Structure 1
Amino acid sequence: MAEPNFNDWNRQIIEEFRTNDGKVGGAFEGVPLLLLTTTGAKSGQQRINPLTYLLDDGCLFIFASKGGAPTNPAWYYNLIAHPQVIVEIGTERFAATAKPVEGEKRDQIYAKEVQHHPGVAEYEKKASRKIPVVELVRAMAHNEA
């Protein structure tokens, strides 16, 4: 029965995000937050998830931590199946391509996220899995080419 509560919780955060130009209170107050719209791997339906992110050297990264759960979050499988996503940060909305980050680069980016949010280090210990790191690469507008 926890699933509907989680969906309600996400819905409240999404509404607050959109009402307040990307700012939310509560547990996420002051935390960099984005909305990620993915296409369901099985359903093909649009799914929106509020996620923390790291902006590093002009690159945007998200982390499939699922709070340290033993499995990856559903949104991660969605973007693996359909890497074209929509990102909302503040009042900006743009198309992007999700690209998993592997190897040494993944470890470096994850270490930077731990520096910014030390609690993230516990997630990987608790999860007993390597938490995936995904780069969101902004799609170029036609006039930027």
Structure 2
Amino acid sequence: MTTDEQVIDSPAGWVRDHIREYVESNGERGHEWRPGVHTLLLTTRGRRSGQLRRTALIYGRDGDRYLVVASHGGDPRHPTWYLNLLADPLVRVQVGADVFAARARAAKPDEKPELWRTMVAIWPDYDAYQARTDRDIPVVILEPVDG
């Protein structure tokens, strides 16, 4: 990913507005979405279009790693951003003012229970989303990489 490539923001109006505020303020507005709930911006490469796609997601931490949940509100389908990172796990992340490259992967079955608890402590609705679908909702680990 290069910084001169055009990025297409989420088609959801409120998410697009959140992203715009986050980017325009260099993360000063939008990083804390609700009290105690922080968001990051995740940019993936579209698996079919090849275009950069950006969305805002609630995140947690596990050491130096960032965690996000591919919940899609309990929809039976994975969110598009998750399908994109399965095709190309190299992503760009913005946390506050910090922008960095990362490698994304779904938590392995032995890792997921602890990471799921971490994320449910931040956003309890994740348990309700999982109850709403037969799909196993992934916890995604974003590991910063050099370059």
Specify if TM > 0.5.
yes
Do 2:31 and 2:40's aligned partners in 1 also have CA atoms closer than 8 Å? Answer: no
In the alignment, what sits opposite 1:97? 103
Identity %: 35
Residues 17-54 of structure 1, C-alpha deviations (whole Å, 9 max, x = no match):
1233423299x323210000000011111100101111
What SS does the aligned partner of 2:77 have?
coil
In the alignment, what sits opposite 2:130? 124
Taking the aligned partners of 2:39 and 2:88, their CA distance within structure 1 comes to 22
Taking the aligned partners of 1:137 and 1:58, their CA distance within structure 2 comes to 7
In the alignment, what sits opposite 1:42? 48
Matching residue's letter, 1:67: G
Check 1:89–1:83 CA distance in 2 against 1; reply closer, same or farther (3 A cut): same
Matching residue's letter, 1:69: D
In the alignment, what sits opposite 2:5? none
Taking the aligned partners of 1:25 and 1:59, their CA distance within structure 2 comes to 17
- 1:1-145, aligned counterparts within 5 Å? 6-22=11-27, 23-24=29-30, 28-30=33-35, 31-141=37-147
Matching residue's letter, 1:7: A
Q: When you count helix as a share of all residues, which structure comes out higher?
A: 1
CA positional deviation for 1:58: 2.4
Unaligned stretches of 5+ in structure 1? none
CA positional deviation for 1:140: 1.9
Taking the aligned partners of 2:24 and 2:60, their CA distance within structure 1 comes to 22
Matching residue's letter, 2:12: N
TM-score normalised to structure 1 length? 0.85
Between stretches 97-106 and 35-44, larger displacement belongs to 97-106
Check 1:98–1:25 CA distance in 2 against 1; reply closer, same or farther (3 A cut): closer
Matching residue's letter, 2:100: F
**How many residues matched?**
136
Taking the aligned partners of 1:101 and 1:20, their CA distance within structure 2 comes to 32
Question: Where does structure 1 differ by over 6 angstroms across 4 or more consecutive aligned residues?
Answer: none
